[in-house]
Structure 1
Amino acid sequence: MEFAVFQFELVAKDELRLPRYKGSAFRGLLGHALKRTVCVTRMDRCNGCLLRQDCVYAYIFETFNKRGERVARPFVLEPPLLERRIFPEGDSMLLQLILFGKAVDYIPYLIHTFREMGRMGLGANRGRFWLRRVTYKEKIIYHFEEQALHTDFERENLFSIKADGQTVEKAKIRFITPTAIKQNGQLRKDIDFVSLLKAVKRRIKALSIYHNGHLSDELYFDLDKAQSVSVNGLNLAPFAWKRYSNRQKQKIDLSGFVGEMELRGDLTSFRPLLRMGEIIHIGRGTVYGMGKYLVDIIKD
């Protein structure tokens, strides 16, 4: 499954007043601005639209399979991971947009959409911003001074991630953004290694069936070996936040946990799957940047 990670640098044109967790603010404005940019029918809903099959907005935000069932959307928006909420005029911030499958082709539309978002305004006071540049693997593909796009970049493939031969027996998993994983219909307050691997596997399956066309053998992992990996330290804290859904006309609870988990055992064969999870995120709310974790290898 092809993917690409783009970094956007935004500069405040007015003072910006943003919430503690900024994923919902950016994702909400992105959807609104993209639809306003590409929709020619101006229908409130995509259901029944004759242009839906070839629509950029419908593919990215109203993602359904042929049976009309909602499937995983082909993007993750990683918001600026800054605690502060006030950004004076001239301050800059970075966010990442991770695209999967055909969505990578639509990066020109999304760059244009971010420019429109800046004009529309963001946050409680609708503060404006402007897009300074977009980079891919440290290569500038858009800069405001050029007003040109360079899309001759080489895409990556999620399933090309392989073990590098390095033996790993100890690692720390850092849950950077709120992580919400359900088990038997209930949100978990903690996590173990097997549950983490299963969450990664579910997420890859959800993305690849629709945005890749087939599954990969890389999803297999040895359950007995995974169960032998012990959790030596678990330091998690609840992260409560809600977002208002215009579709459902109510607040949606997207609370999860953040923190760290230290693992000990034979982790070598699990490194590719763990690396995939770092890219795709896990659990609920991935389009808001939730479920981001990083793996730190610990060498004794």
Structure 2
Amino acid sequence: MLEPAAVASRRACMVSSEKIATELSRAFLGFRLTRVVLAFRVLHGGQLPPWLGSAWRGMLGHGLKSAVCTTGLDDCRPCPLIDDCPYPVLFEARVPLNAPMLGSNTKAPGPYTLLASPGGRVASDDELTLRLTLFGEHGRDAALLARVFALGADSGLGERRLGLTLQRLAEVDLDGGERELGLAQLHQAPPSLAPLAALPPCPPSLAIHLLTPLRLRVRNRYVGPDCLCFGDFLSHLLRRCSLLLQFYQQTPVELPFRELVDLAHKLQFSHTELRWEDMARHSSRQERVVPMGGLVGTMYLEDERLQALWPLLWLGQWTQLGKGVSMGLGEYRLEAA
């Protein structure tokens, strides 16, 4: 039987957790995102890189600039139209004028994420899918980016320019359900979604499944399988979601950030099953192969204080986390353990 002091301490902890969870839910309740999936038919079989995130992002960069640039400048910085052009904000995550920022931040997180089906050897008539998630006000750009990908597919994907054609477009709900849109509806923006509008109860124990490599940089080093702690995971997620809300919905985030981070560092994974998965991409700008490996596997948590941070963990399933989210990295899913 617990001593009275221990009972009182536990009750105070539960009250504090409920208070923090309420503050997090209130802060991020209006967080909105838009999701679409594009399905492409392979016209002629061939070999693609095993990981296609970088190839799709490259297609987006070239296609978007061709579609919207009217000056032809290689460098956007001296362009007189830079504040009115969608390319710098969408692709380079340029900070808009007078945008609210956290601390000394000088660059916004990208307003979208991509998640592609695997590459490798493909045959004629195979299907490749690309899921696009846009944050806040940039949900209106879903139609523009879908058109860019449709046109880019005609020129081919990857270094070998494998020919594709867009055959299906659908809006995607929070559970992954799809509602097909006609290709003629590319000019229409799908409805936005609010992940915290129907927040389920926090389970007593939790499994966090890293589905695509997580590249988390802590103290100037990428975290390895034996070094990832829950505090670092949560603090990076808090920063990312706060910046997305501030930059793309112009909504100030007023939270006890220090208290939240301190609490997160008090929680520890009960155990982890993580490994490092090597990946790489070729950078035309840097003219070299760039490592893009990260952590995959599962982390387990069992702590009653988890309830306090549950709304943020739930939201992060749709924002992704870490470096390379614009190429499909950092996706995770939660499951009651």
TM range (shorter): 0.7 to 0.9
What is the TM-score when the length of structure 1 is the normalising length? 0.88
Match of 1:57 in 2: 87
Q: 2:250 aligns with which of 206, 213, 216?
A: 213
Contact persistence 1:15–1:89 (CA under 8 A): yes
Contact persistence 2:280–2:290 (CA under 8 A): yes
Contact persistence 1:10–1:131 (CA under 8 A): yes
Three-state SS of the structure 1 residue aligned to 2:269 is strand
Contact persistence 2:142–2:190 (CA under 8 A): no
Q: How many positions carry a matched residue from both structures?
A: 291
Three-state SS of the structure 1 residue aligned to 2:56 is helix
- Bigger-Rg structure (1/2): 2
Q: 1:96 aligns with which of 105, 125, 131?
A: 131
Query: Relative to 1, partners in 2 of residues 1:91 and 1:185: Cα closer, same or farther, differing over 3 Å?
Result: same
Three-state SS of the structure 1 residue aligned to 2:206 is strand
Give yes or no for the alignment of 1:203 onto 2:263: no
Contact persistence 2:235–2:261 (CA under 8 A): no
Residue 35 of structure 1 aligns with an amino acid whose one-letter code is K
Contact persistence 2:235–2:264 (CA under 8 A): no
Deviation readout 1:98-128 (Å, 9 max, x if unpaired)? 0012321112211111111111101232111
Deviation readout 1:247-300 (Å, 9 max, x if unpaired)? 3333322221111111111233322111211111111111111111111112xx
Query: Relative to 1, partners in 2 of residues 1:73 and 1:224: Cα closer, same or farther, differing over 3 Å?
Result: closer
Contact persistence 1:179–1:282 (CA under 8 A): yes
2:68 and 2:126 mapped to 1: Cα distance? Answer: 30
Q: 1:264 aligns with which of 283, 302, 320?
A: 302
Three-state SS of the structure 2 residue aligned to 1:52 is coil
Three-state SS of the structure 2 residue aligned to 1:196 is helix
Contact persistence 2:202–2:310 (CA under 8 A): no
Larger mean CA deviation between 213-222 and 192-201 belongs to 213-222
Query: Relative to 1, partners in 2 of residues 1:256 and 1:152: Cα closer, same or farther, differing over 3 Å?
Result: closer
Residue 97 of structure 1 aligns with an amino acid whose one-letter code is L
Give yes or no for the alignment of 1:142 onto 2:178: no
Residue 300 of structure 2 aligns with an amino acid whose one-letter code is E
Deviation readout 1:129-175 (Å, 9 max, x if unpaired)? 111122113222333xxx333736431245x44643x2411111111
Query: Relative to 1, partners in 2 of residues 1:52 and 1:157: Cα closer, same or farther, differing over 3 Å?
Result: farther
Contact persistence 2:139–2:189 (CA under 8 A): no
Residue 120 of structure 2 aligns with an amino acid whose one-letter code is R
Three-state SS of the structure 2 residue aligned to 1:71 is coil
Where structure 1 has 5 or more consecutive residues not aligned to the other structure, the ranges are: none
C-alpha deviation, 1:58, in angstroms: 1.9
Contact persistence 2:112–2:326 (CA under 8 A): yes
C-alpha deviation, 1:223, in angstroms: 4.9
- The residue correspondences of 1:1-300 to structure 2 (distance < 5 A) are 1-65=31-95, 66=97, 69-80=106-117, 82=118, 85-136=120-171, 137=173, 138-143=178-183, 147-149=184-186, 151=188, 153-157=190-194, 160-161=196-197, 163-164=199-200, 166-190=201-225, 191-217=228-254, 222-223=260-261, 225-266=263-304, 267-298=306-337
Query: Relative to 1, partners in 2 of residues 1:264 and 1:54: Cα closer, same or farther, differing over 3 Å?
Result: same
Larger mean CA deviation between 226-235 and 8-17 belongs to 226-235
2:76 and 2:283 mapped to 1: Cα distance? Answer: 17
Three-state SS of the structure 2 residue aligned to 1:174 is strand
Query: Relative to 1, partners in 2 of residues 1:294 and 1:167: Cα closer, same or farther, differing over 3 Å?
Result: closer
C-alpha deviation, 1:219, in angstroms: 7.8
1:5 and 1:180 mapped to 2: Cα distance? Answer: 23
2:219 and 2:307 mapped to 1: Cα distance? Answer: 30
Percent identity between the two aligned chains = 25
Query: Relative to 1, partners in 2 of residues 1:218 and 1:97: Cα closer, same or farther, differing over 3 Å?
Result: farther
1:10 and 1:127 mapped to 2: Cα distance? Answer: 11
C-alpha deviation, 1:20, in angstroms: 1.8
What is the TM-score when the length of structure 2 is the normalising length? 0.79
Provide runs of 4+ in structure 1 moved above 6 Å.
Answer: none
RMSD: 2.3
Contact persistence 1:16–1:126 (CA under 8 A): no
Residue 55 of structure 1 aligns with an amino acid whose one-letter code is C
